[in-house]
Chain A
Amino acid sequence: MSTPSARPIPEVSPALAPYFAAARAGRLVVQRCTGCGALRFPPRELCSVCLATEAAWQEVSGRGEIFSYYVMHQIYHPGFAAEVPYAVVVVKLEEGPKLTSNVVDCPLDEIAIGMPVEVVFEELSPEVTLPKFRRRAR
């Protein structure tokens, strides 16, 4: 069986520290440009809508739908050797930003574009909790 700890654990970089702190507390946050209010993820040093450099973090609903997905069959990392084939999804949040993630507790052949999902949190290590998604009723 796979060992979750064998999978790559993201580095808590300064840019992502607020994101992981929120995830540990069970909240999903994205960056909000304080210049124009545009939401974005992953974090960037400036807003590509208005070019402002100031940004804050804002909690979002955690609800969205699957915008696209693929089923990976190739093993790129030993941590996923026992996982293939597995699905990676892009979730479009109700608030607009898109997140790369996985859907938990859902057979591969039921994953579909447009499927409503909501965030759940998977603890990988004391520092890193990973937002994932599960199916929800529409």
Chain B
Amino acid sequence: MFDGDGVLSYEDTMRKCAAAIAGLGLTAQGKVYDRTHVGFAVEAVRLALEDAGLARTDLDGLLLNPGVAWGQATMGAFMLQQALGLRNLRLAATVNLGGATAAAMVQQAALAIDAGLCTTVACVFSDRPLQPPDQRRSRAGEPTGSAAAYAAARSPATGNLDAAYGQFGTNALYALVARRYMHVYGTTQDDLGAVAVAQRRWANMNPAAQFRDVPLTLADYHASRWVVEPFHVLDCCLVSNGGAAVIVTSADRARGLRKPPVYIWGMGQGHPGGDPAENLASGAPLAMRPAFATAGVETRDVQLCELYDCYTFTVLVTLEDYGFCPRGEAGAFVAEGHTAPAGRLPVNTGGGQLSSFYMWGMTPLVEAVLQARGEAGERQVPRRDVVLVSGNGGLLSTHSTLVLSPLAS
């Protein structure tokens, strides 16, 4: 039993929302500086509308996941509405569950559409943590570059007692959980490296990937610099400027638009609370129950996984949480090539956040839409009827699940 089930069983009242993803917009990614975070968001929505064959006036809902460049813009969705010149919205929210937000926004949009609050919702993420080389601050002894930019933006969470011991940044907090996990379940450094290598092979076939032209072997992985043990730099996600958006509408409406609909078969969230280093699991075991039940699938039916991968470690935990492998065995599963190109369970087929681009939960969602529509080019997988998308935020703190399909049911 899970805590939080309470008195009422939600499974009695669960039903599928007849909603679909109808449009996808992805801006240039990575070291691109020609727009602000607002500009990237506007561009992503414009591209998603164009992809769907919709006009701005068709939108009546706007959900924004603000990246770190949005700062304390708690009215971010309104700022974006004004920038886009949108009038008479009937649904809007600035949403933040960290990396779980993208899939959670799609869920919120589907629910609102299903309830008749609105018809067509743009779900948007953008960020601009990277500064052009000539604008980076660089004081003696201080870090520069992408990781530092990101750490600086997020450091208030750490507090200065931790700093006295030399504890800084998100990588370190995740490393504590990873180290404990490796101790308890026997996950090895080679296991972490296997994830980096498998995902790089996918990225090498993705024209949008920041590491498209850089091959990677396990030896390269082990030789790469340490950031914070047990994480090499290649265990950590990229940092990217850019924007990404999807358009969610009713299944009926989606069928009449430019692109094939990607149907939302199932959805769920799970936020375990407590100490992640004690839990040693994400919220996936909670989130997958309603998602799989409404989709009418089980773990063994999933044909393709797009999993949130802030670190190599996160992918291993998530594979085990969803039941693809017993505890401690995901590393061997990945090392055997099952998640790599031509493997029996393709995972993070665009290269993920480790090797393509870092748009938080939009990275796995974008790739899921491309694969489900059969638009993934050289890296297109043949079996794509049941696509699992996961989002994960904080330190395995928040989790969202989508089951997507190009088939209506």
Q: B12 within 8 Å of A by Cβ?
A: no
B165 touches A101 (CB 8 A): yes
A80 touches B147 (CB 8 A): no
* Shortest Cβ distance from residue B351 to the other chain A in the assembled complex, whole angstroms: 24
B165 touches A70 (CB 8 A): no
Residue of A nearest to B273 (CB): A48
B160 touches A11 (CB 8 A): yes
**Residues of B contacting A113 with CB < 8 Å?**
179-180, 183
For the complex, what is the distance from the CA of A11 to the CA of B159, rounded to whole Å?
Answer: 10
For the complex, what is the distance from the CA of A124 to the CA of B148, rounded to whole Å?
Answer: 26
A76 touches B226 (CB 8 A): no
Contact partner, B169, options A42, A71, A76, Cβ 8 Å: A76
A78 touches B142 (CB 8 A): yes
B227 touches A88 (CB 8 A): no
**Residues of B contacting A81 with CB < 8 Å?**
141
B161 touches A42 (CB 8 A): yes
B226 touches A8 (CB 8 A): no
A-B CB pair tally, cutoff 8 Å:
98
* Shortest Cβ distance from residue B389 to the other chain A in the assembled complex, whole angstroms: 30
For the complex, what is the distance from the CA of A71 to the CA of B175, rounded to whole Å?
Answer: 9
B147 touches A75 (CB 8 A): no
**Residues of A contacting B166 with CB < 8 Å?**
7, 72, 76-77, 80, 83, 86, 88, 102
B165 touches A74 (CB 8 A): no
For the complex, what is the distance from the CA of A115 to the CA of B279, rounded to whole Å?
Answer: 21
B277 touches A100 (CB 8 A): no
Contact partner, B229, options A70, A75, A76, A101, Cβ 8 Å: A70
**Which of under 10, 10 to 19, 20 to 34, or 35 or more describes the interface residues of B?**
35 or more
Contact partner, A73, options B159, B161, B183, B226, Cβ 8 Å: B226
Q: A33 within 8 Å of B by Cβ?
A: no
For the complex, what is the distance from the CA of A30 to the CA of B168, rounded to whole Å?
Answer: 23
Residues of chain B from 161 to 192 with CB closer than 8 A to chain A in the complex: 161-169, 171-172, 175-177, 179-180, 183
B175 touches A70 (CB 8 A): yes
Residue of B nearest to A98 (CB): B275
Contact partner, B172, options A7, A10, A70, A114, Cβ 8 Å: A70
Q: A93 within 8 Å of B by Cβ?
A: no
A76 touches B164 (CB 8 A): no
For the complex, what is the distance from the CA of A44 to the CA of B111, rounded to whole Å?
Answer: 36
For the complex, what is the distance from the CA of A73 to the CA of B229, rounded to whole Å?
Answer: 8
B141 touches A71 (CB 8 A): no
**Residues of B contacting A74 with CB < 8 Å?**
143, 147, 168-169, 171, 227-228
Contact partner, A71, options B139, B165, B225, B226, Cβ 8 Å: B226
Q: B7 within 8 Å of A by Cβ?
A: no
Interface centre among B148, B151, B183 (most CB of A within 10 A): B183
A78 touches B140 (CB 8 A): yes
Digit string of A59-80 for contact with B (CB within 8 Å is 1, else 0)? Answer: 0000000011111111111101
A70 touches B228 (CB 8 A): yes
**Residues of A contacting B164 with CB < 8 Å?**
7-10, 124, 128, 130
**Residues of B contacting A124 with CB < 8 Å?**
164
Q: A35 within 8 Å of B by Cβ?
A: no
**Residues of B contacting A130 with CB < 8 Å?**
164-165
* Shortest Cβ distance from residue B268 to the other chain A in the assembled complex, whole angstroms: 25
Q: B270 within 8 Å of A by Cβ?
A: no
A10 touches B161 (CB 8 A): yes
* Shortest Cβ distance from residue A77 to the other chain B in the assembled complex, whole angstroms: 7
Contact partner, B226, options A42, A69, A85, A100, Cβ 8 Å: A85
Residue of B nearest to A9 (CB): B164
A71 touches B277 (CB 8 A): no
Residue of B nearest to A112 (CB): B183
Q: B261 within 8 Å of A by Cβ?
A: no
**Residues of A contacting B179 with CB < 8 Å?**
68-70, 113
* Shortest Cβ distance from residue B313 to the other chain A in the assembled complex, whole angstroms: 12
Residue of B nearest to A86 (CB): B166
For the complex, what is the distance from the CA of A8 to the CA of B165, rounded to whole Å?
Answer: 9
Known: A70-B176, A75-B143. 9 other contacts (CB 8 A): A68-B176, A68-B177, A68-B277, A71-B226, A72-B228, A73-B227, A76-B168, A77-B141, A113-B179
- 29 pairs across A/B with beta carbons < 8 Å? A7-B166, A8-B160, A10-B160, A10-B161, A68-B176, A70-B175, A70-B230, A72-B166, A72-B172, A73-B229, A74-B168, A74-B171, A75-B142, A75-B143, A76-B148, A76-B151, A77-B141, A77-B142, A77-B163, A77-B166, A80-B166, A86-B166, A88-B165, A88-B166, A90-B176, A90-B277, A98-B275, A100-B167, A130-B165
| Residue positions of A touching B, CB distance < 8 A | 7-11, 16, 42, 67-78, 80-81, 83, 85-86, 88, 90, 98, 100-102, 113-114, 124, 128, 130, 132
